[in-house]
Structures are given as C-alpha cells and as structure tokens.
Structure 1
C-alpha cells in the first residue's frame, strides 16, 4: 500500500503545479547592440555591418542601434549595406550623431526609426563623380529610385528623400531652393516626420526607447575591419595599385631583391587582403594574380611573348575580379599603368638605367674593333709592298710577295698573270692591289 502511494506522488505533484502560473526560466533582460557607422561608406564597411547584424540575430537582440556620423561614400556600398539592414528581422534604429550625409541618409532611411542629435544633419544625397560633378543621368535615376524606395518602405514622404538626391526638386517651406540638395536639421527632420525624436546622447536614446535597463553590447571594428575599410576606399585603391606597379618597375632596374620590390608586393598584397576581408574578393582572384606573376617571370626565359601577355592579362584580370566596382578599378588601373610608363621612360631615357633581368639573359658585350675584337687580322704591314701575280686577277686572284702567296683583289680592272702589282689597301682579309705602270716601274728601279 505504501509502495502505491509513493508511485502516486509524481502524479499528484504535477497536478499541484498546474494550479500555479508557469515559471519562465528565459532571460527577460533586454539586449541592445550598438553598431557604429563612421567615416566614409565603402565596401569594406559592408562586411562589418553584415557580421554585426548576424551576431545580433544570433544573440536574439531586441534592437540594433546604428550610431551614425558619416559624410557618405560609395553608392554600391550604400545599396549593399541598405539591403543588410532592411533584411534583418530585428528592430533597427539610427542615431544620427552627428551627420547622415549622402549615402548615410540612405542607410538611415533603411532603418525602422531615426533619432537625431540636436546638431545633426540629414540629407545632401546627390550622386557626385570623382571630379565633383553631378553623376550621369543613368546613375542619378538609379539613386533617385533607391532613395524614394527606402523612404516609402519606412512609411515616410518620399518627396523629401528625392529632394535630398535631386537638385531640381525644391522644398520652399524648408528654405530649400533649386540647384541645392536638401539637407534637414534635427528640428526640420522632426517636423517632416523623418525623425522620431531628438536626443542628446545614447543614454537619452535608450531611455526614450524604454531600454535604459537593457544590456548594451557594442560592436567595434576590429583591426582587420579597419584595414579592409581603408584599402577599399576609392581614393586609396589607385594609390595602392600605383605604388605596387612602381615598386615592381624599380625592382626590375635594381640588382637583387630590395626595398622597392618588397614595397611593391606588399602594396598589392594589401590590396587583395583588404578586398578579401571585406568580402569583395575570393581566393580565385589571388590564385589568378599569382599565376600572372609566374607567367610574367617565365617570359624572361621563354621566347615568343605569349607568356608575358597572358601574365599581364591575368594580373589585371585578378585586380578587376577583386575590385567590385568596375569603373573605379578601371580608373585605378589606368592611373597605375600611366604612372608606370612615365617612370620607366624616366629611368631609361633620363637616368640611363638598365633592367637587371635583361643583363642576365641578353648578351650585352660588344665585339667591336674598339673593344679589341676583329674578325680577321688586318695585314697593314703589306701596304706599299710589291709582288707578282701568280694568276690573272678577275678581279681576285693570287699574288706572290717574297715567299708568301696572298689572295688579293684588284681595284676592279683585269690584271694579267706575271704582272707586277703594288698593295694599296688592307682591310681584314681583303687585300687590294694595283697594277704597276711603266712609270711606276721606272721610279722603282731608280
């Protein structure tokens, strides 16, 4: 009987628990991730933002706050990052502290809510080319569509987003005239409902969001992220490629492997490393680059020029494969090639330098007379001597001078056998003779 009661205890205990509220052992602490978006927006930033969002999703964060202070940057990078931000299931908030200019304004529009510092600025999102001019019609139309779409998706009036990207759209009530991209202050952003509020700090923002007691995790960029962002900057790319090309050019003119070669290879490796870390380049681009270098070196030992052409094509192809933006890479490669050609001309024509590789594989010794080389010994000692033709000269033949038989040529005329001749010129193996006249013979007898 006791045994049966013992067996009933678990059943009775479970029934008793059913009368009490369920106990949750989950962590009710709210979690906030702070992700900085600082400085120029480039493709190197895209990989960092993607990793930050994935981390926040894995940790089941309640909100991601993007603390933004950027002058803008690449359109391609902005579109890529915008897709990452708008694609997350987590709540996203932009804290503009203090600028969200150009590409930054597009990123802010892709978040669920926007809060601004009192000194904040928001807008001026026109597409500008490398010369500081408004971009072409096609690029402008694409960017205008992207800005409008981002505003509509976040429930905002797209007119203001379009005015940020198009000078021809004016908002007079905000003091915005034509020929000027719209830039909103914190107060103006709040007025047109582009901002959800004005805050003085991150703590103030957390309080506004009702998360002042939340656990805050800050995602800071690693050293690799910073290198990737630096290397993928559109201004830095042509500088790296130019340094790489110049380093290799100078190395070709220097004995042994020195500082120039090390700097050149380091610059190119830094280019590929940055693009690899940022997710733009794959290992296939590095393999193609190495193959190109090998083919260029083989060109010094293989006749034909095919290996060199294929090697240069492989190197340039690997740079394009790793670059991402074809226009920027093409411009960077053209700059590097132009500078390299000018440097080569200066080294050869102005400084008279010689490529060390050519010294090893090309015979540079001269076999000139000035260097002491002759094809045949010149018989200058015979000039002025006389002899007798052993054969007729037509115009070549044989002459006996003393006891020595010598092959000679006449000055062009026929000379018979057993005729006295005088040697008038000796040029290597060519001995020129002239028939002696009676007058010459008479002088000789005297």
Structure 2
C-alpha cells in the first residue's frame, strides 16, 4: 500500500509545496522598506513581546536606514519584556548601527519593562513620552525554575551588562544595575531627573525638535550631529511576512502544526487517494518547522516529539497491543515539555508550551491511533471478502478421481485440484485449503454431503 500511496501522493505534494514556496517568496519580497530620501528619519514601531520577530524587524529597519543614509532611526517601543536572546540581538544591532538610533517609549501608558530597559539603555538617545515607565529588568527563568544559583548567575550577568551599557551611553549606571538586581522602575519624569533617559517628549514631532543638534558617537568612532528638526519622516512598519512569523513564533502553534500535520498524513496513509489530508499534512509540517526556526527550542525535545509521532503512526501498522501507542504518547508529552525548556527571558509571557495542551494533545492522539490500530487489527482478522483468499474454506464436488490430481466443481466452474489427504472419488465433497494460481488444494470434507451446484 505504501509504495502506491507514495507514488500517487509525492507528485501532488511536490506541486503543493512548490506553490507554497512561491507564495512565501512573494510575501518575503514585500519585506523591503519604503523608499526614502537621504537625511530622512526612519520610524520603526516595536510593540509587543521582545522576541525573534522583533529582533529581525529592528535589524531590517536599521539596515534599510543605513542603506538610505537616514538622519536617524526612531524606535517607538512598548514592551513588557521577552527573550534574553532576542534582546541581546537587538542591543548588539543598535550598538553597531552606522546611523543614530533614538528609542522612544511610546505611547502614553506604554512601558519599556525588563528587556525593553536594555534596549532603551543601548540607544544613542533615550526618550520617553509622559505617562510611560521603564525598569523592572530582573531576569526570570522561562520554566519557572527556582534554582537560586542559576538565578543569581543570570542576575549578576544581566547587571554587569546593563551597567556597562549605561556607562557607555553616559547614563545612570547605578539605577540601571538596581533595575536588574532590585527590579527598580521609574516614571518618565523620574527617569529624566535621575539621568536614565535624555528626553521626555509628548509627540514624535516634539522629540525630533528636542534632539535636533545633539551629538552622538557611533561605534566606528564618528561623531554625528543630529539634524532631525523638519526632516522627512518615513515609517517602516512591520511587514506581512513578519506578521506571519509573529503569529507562528509560538511553540504551541509549532507543536499543533507538527501534530496535526502528522495526523493528516497518517489519515492519507490509511485512506490512500483522499489527497487533501496529505497535502494539508505536508504543508502543516513545513510550517511547524518554519515556526521552530524563529524561536529558541531544545533539540532533544524536538527529537522526542518526532519519535512520539512516529510511534503513534506505526501503531496503525504493527500489532503491538498498545505498546507503540503508549510509548508514542509518553514520548510526545515529554518532548513537548522539553521543547522550550531553559529559554532565558526577562519578564513578559512564558515562551513555553502550555502543559494542558501537551496533556490533551498526547491523550487525544493516543486515543485516535489506538482506535485506528484496533480497527486495523479487527479488519485483518476478518475473512477475505474478495480475491483468491475467498475460496479458502469453500466446499466443492469432485468430478474426476483425485489421485492426487483431478477436477472439482465449484460455483459453476471446473477447477484443477490436488488432494492433500489421499485419493478422492467422483461425487465426494472436498474443502478448499489453498489456491495456487488456477489450481486448488483440497481435502476431504468431514461430513460427506453433496455441496455446490452441479453442471
């Protein structure tokens, strides 16, 4: 069954995958930034969790500003925090920027909490709008682990980094360290008063007017005087591809895509020719791996998930009395729990798989494949309804002596037959024990009754 299924399905899947890749290419091609004149101010909007998508977006925005010889990049920031790895990428990109970067905590009511504090501190100019806050940058384990040694290690490392960044930018290093060690926070007015930020402005226009004429030093040693007052403003928003990545950049989504994709492929294997489940399954699996490509994950956890799914599928083909199904469900659950274990973060939502989703998914898939396996075994144990096997067990009448070969009459047809248990006389009833091509193997019936129809 599998080879025929593969021969029919693979070409269709290849065409579908090709169309998907073309669509993704078309979407990605729209990621280029808008055209802008030299000397313009490029505005990026970074709101939400600090993660791989935000890091890619800010990197793309700064790249575009450098290519267009922008006067400055303004990052409108509003975040509760996020992954430490993504925060590090953003901080490194800002520090290495060849154009001045101004981070503006906006809108009123927004925040640059936790990982956002590092981003503000790393910028050439730090600004806030009234009614915003900054701070509370103590690192937290993504798994909620309470290991005091590991917590102290992460805190000390974060405190040293943010202190160095604050000194580099000439800001209040003591407060920056307190934001990490003591979760200190500050309002916009307090942050300006104690030297955490450089400007408090109620709008983007006010911000550009206030920072105009400031001198900043870039990493290559160049001193640049900001010329932002009256400069053209170009907004470089998040692209459709990045929005799609942001939606997929969730371990729960990745786990669901991998599981549903495997389930759909298994259905196609059990029911060859359905086509849609196979196409959906391969696309879902591709998107699942695509989602994992933009979030930090544990390779051991992914391996356990894949092994678990494979064992669940094999349960439908191998009679294991539930051993494969139970093992697959356990492997899937453990892999899902380990999938994002150990990811460091700075506050923000947990970047981990929901435990209830794990338990429900493992139980649901285990029940499904157990049901499938039970029905497959039951179907295999039923007598054949068509084909050569249907003749086994049928009764026929000898029409010539079988010593041991001769002819029998069955269902209105003469068949060559060979007796297995001695000579059979014409008119005796025999039972078919096997069929070998156009030849039957028979034995005498226990009760000699004339069976079958006569010519």
TM-score tier by shorter-chain length is 0.5 to 0.7
The alignment's TM-score, normalised by the length of structure 2, stands at 0.56
Deviation by residue 1:217-241 (Cα, 9 ceiling, x = unmatched)? 1111111011112322xxx212431
For residue 229 of structure 2, what is the aligned residue in structure 1?
A: 212
Pairs within 5 Å for 1:138-157: 138-157=153-172
Q: What is the correspondence of 1:26-425 to structure 2 with a 5 Å cutoff?
A: 30-97=39-106, 98-130=110-142, 136-167=151-182, 181-210=183-212, 211-232=228-249, 236-246=250-260, 248-249=262-263, 252=266, 256=271, 257=274, 265-274=282-291, 327=343, 332=353, 338-347=359-368, 353-355=371-373, 358=376, 363-365=380-382
Contact 1:246 1:343 in 2 (8 A): no
Deviation at 1:108, TM superposition (A): 0.7
Relative contact order, higher structure (CA 8 A, sep 6+)? 2
Does the CA contact (< 8 Å) of 1:105 and 1:125 recur in 2?
Answer: yes
Q: Structure 1 residues 335, 87: closer, same or farther in 2, change over 3 A?
A: farther
SS at match of 2:163: helix
CA positional deviation for 1:166: 1.6
Looking at structure 1, the residues matched to 354 and 231 of structure 2 have their Cα atoms a distance apart, in angstroms, of 49
Aligned-pair RMSD on alpha carbons? 4.9
Distance change (3 Å), C-alpha of 1:263 and 1:137: farther
TM-superposed CA distance for 1:208, in Å, is 1.3
State the distance in 1 between where 2:363 and 2:289 align: 25
Segment drifting more, 259-268 vs 239-248: 259-268
Shift of 1:250: 6.7
| Cα 1:56–1:228 shift into 2, 3 Å | same
Consecutive unaligned residues of structure 2, counting only runs of 5 or more, are 1-35, 213-227, 298-304, 345-349, 385-389, 396-444, 447-455
Cα gap change, 1:56/1:242 in structure 2, threshold over 3 Å: closer, same or farther? Answer: same
SS in 2 for 1:67: strand
Cα distance in 2 between the residues matched to 1:161 and 1:193? 10
Q: How far off is 1:96 after superposition?
A: 0.8
Deviates more, 1:62-71 or 1:242-251: 242-251
Q: How many residues align?
A: 311
- The normalised TM-score by structure 1 is 0.57
CA 267–45 in structure 1, closer or farther in 2 if over 3 Å, else same: farther
* Structure 1 Cα separation of the partners of residues 238 and 288 of structure 2: 19
**What's the offset of the Cα at 1:49?**
1.2
1:109-129 C-alpha deviation (Å, 9 max, x unpaired): 110111110111111112223
Q: Does the Cα contact within 8 Å between 2:113 and 2:135 map onto a contact in 1?
A: yes
Deviation readout 1:268-299 (Å, 9 max, x if unpaired): 333333455x5989xxxxxxx99x99999899
Q: Which has the larger radius of gyration?
A: 1
- Aligned with 1:363: secondary structure? helix
**Contact kept in structure 1, 2:83 and 2:343, CA below 8 Å:** no
8 Å contact kept, 2:75–2:103? yes
